[in-house]
Structure 1
Amino acid sequence: MTVPPDLVLAERPAAGEPEGLLVLHHGRGTSEQDLLPLADELDPERRLHVAAPRGPLQLPGWPGFHWYAVPRVGYPDPATYAAAYAALARVHDGLWARTGIGPERTVLSGFSMGSVMSYALGLGPDRPRPAGLLIHAGFVPTVPGWEPDLAHRRGLPVRISHGSADPIMDVAFAHDARERLTAAGLDVRYAEHGGAHHLAPSDAPAGRAFLDEVLPPRG
């Protein structure tokens, strides 16, 4: 496996001493700047340190950056997925070491392909348990050699939002994730909107409430 070099990282610092860490993983064909403006909607009081890494992969004929190649939706290419997983693990580990904020005060979030990576790093058997997962239009990946460790994630808060008319990632992926994670004892909150492959207007206030719950203010 070829591991990409360190990923480009955009950050929005907290207003004071950070009370937690929010990592935003962008979708297919965009960049680390795509979701960073969402930080002020999810965390208007700037309690949290927010980081947005850039995917390691550029594909011929496609704009922007990607986390992995897509032979079939729901089934990432194993080699590029493994490389992105390793590179993103280094980013998360580096953020925890540099900021002093541990995984227990970290929420992993993203959109589309970025939500897939949030599931991957948040549920991976070799990765620490985060404070929560904030998922938009994603799926739990099916990749040979990788399985989520759900047995050690009982009670983990997960908010899933998905459009019922999504033509890119069918809403059936969200239904499957909801059923699978709920059956394993994770604390799943599910919201389905009538739109397509995009964030819904309700996602920002609901995400803000989720963050306030799983990363409550200290003191």
Structure 2
Amino acid sequence: MIAEPLRFLERPAAGAPEGALVLLHGRGADEHDLFPLLDALDPERRLLGVTPRGPLSLPPGGAHWYRLGGIPTPEPNTFFPTFEVAAAFLDALPVPIDRIVLGGFSQGAVMSWALGLGRGRPRPAAIMALSGFMPVVEGFELDLADLHDYPIAIAHGSHDPIIPVEFGRAAAERARDAGAALLWRETPVPHTIDPRVLTELQTFVASAMA
């Protein structure tokens, strides 16, 4: 079990926050990794910006959200405790969940799918999944019902050697089939966030908070 709450960095809003932007880092990184994206995606600082740190310390170093169990199968004994502590973290933020844009990269994208669409969880304002996959874990289920016009952004590199682009395409297809208002961008990059998609993601965040 994970006893301690998540560590995190916080970027205040310019005034009273209209919502929050929460970004979850990838495997082996930490809360500093995506922090610069807060200003890139919300340059007017309308939102409270938060970058939590994964609760696990695993080889080869850095912070992790779960132990690798393969793609698309996080290892259950670490996935479920992290899911619980991360859900409690989101629920304790000083803005309601339906005013939170939740996003992440790689493992952080996987957790964004889980926390945003996990059965029984309240839905955030929008989900951004960058270079990740929808998790498949025994005893856990994503709820893709009633996604009509729900804002989801997915970006993936076609040259990704870590999480092949087919997993991003599959997630996009499932979201599209469920009726989501989908932004899907596939660009010729490896396992990274392509700077060329940031302008569209900035617009996506602003639209989700409109």
Give the TM interval when normalised to the shorter protein: over 0.9
Q: Could you tell me the percent identity over the aligned residues?
A: 45
Superposition deviation, residue 32 in structure 1? 0.7
Size of the aligned set, in residue pairs, is 210
User: Are 1:172 and 2:171 an aligned pair?
Assistant: no
Residue 23 of structure 1 is matched in structure 2 by 22
Residue type at the aligned position of 2:139: G
CA RMSD of aligned residues (A): 1.0
Per-residue displacement from partner, 1:101-120 (whole Å, max 9, x unpaired)?
A: 21221110111100110110
Per-residue displacement from partner, 1:3-24 (whole Å, max 9, x unpaired)?
A: 3421101110101111111001
2:203 pairs with one of 196, 205, 209 = 209
What is the rounded CA distance, in whole Å, between the counterparts of 2:141 and 2:147 in structure 1? 13
Q: Secondary structure at the match of 2:56?
A: coil
Per-residue displacement from partner, 1:4-62 (whole Å, max 9, x unpaired)?
A: 42110111010111111100100000101110111111111111101111101111x31
Please give the residue correspondences for 1:134-153 in structure 2 after superposition, counting only pairs within 5 Å: 134-153=128-147
Unaligned segments of structure 2, at least 5 residues: none
Residue 54 of structure 1 is matched in structure 2 by 53
Instruction: Answer whether contact 1:123 1:153 (CA < 8 A) is retained.
Output: no
Superposition deviation, residue 203 in structure 1? 2.4
Instruction: Answer whether contact 1:129 1:153 (CA < 8 A) is retained.
Output: no
Instruction: Answer whether contact 1:7 1:91 (CA < 8 A) is retained.
Output: yes
2:148 pairs with one of 154, 173, 181 = 154
Residue 85 of structure 2 is matched in structure 1 by 87
Instruction: Answer whether contact 1:107 1:130 (CA < 8 A) is retained.
Output: yes
Residue type at the aligned position of 1:88: A
Instruction: Answer whether contact 2:2 2:55 (CA < 8 A) is retained.
Output: no
What is the rounded CA distance, in whole Å, between the counterparts of 1:4 and 1:200 in structure 2? 35
Residue type at the aligned position of 2:152: V
Superposition deviation, residue 155 in structure 1? 2.4
Unaligned segments of structure 1, at least 5 residues: none
What is the rounded CA distance, in whole Å, between the counterparts of 2:3 and 2:175 in structure 1? 30
Instruction: Answer whether contact 1:160 1:189 (CA < 8 A) is retained.
Output: yes
The 4+ residue runs of structure 1 with deviation greater than 6 A are none
Q: Secondary structure at the match of 1:119?
A: helix
Superposition deviation, residue 180 in structure 1? 1.1
1:73 pairs with one of 64, 71, 74 = 71
Superposition deviation, residue 158 in structure 1? 0.4
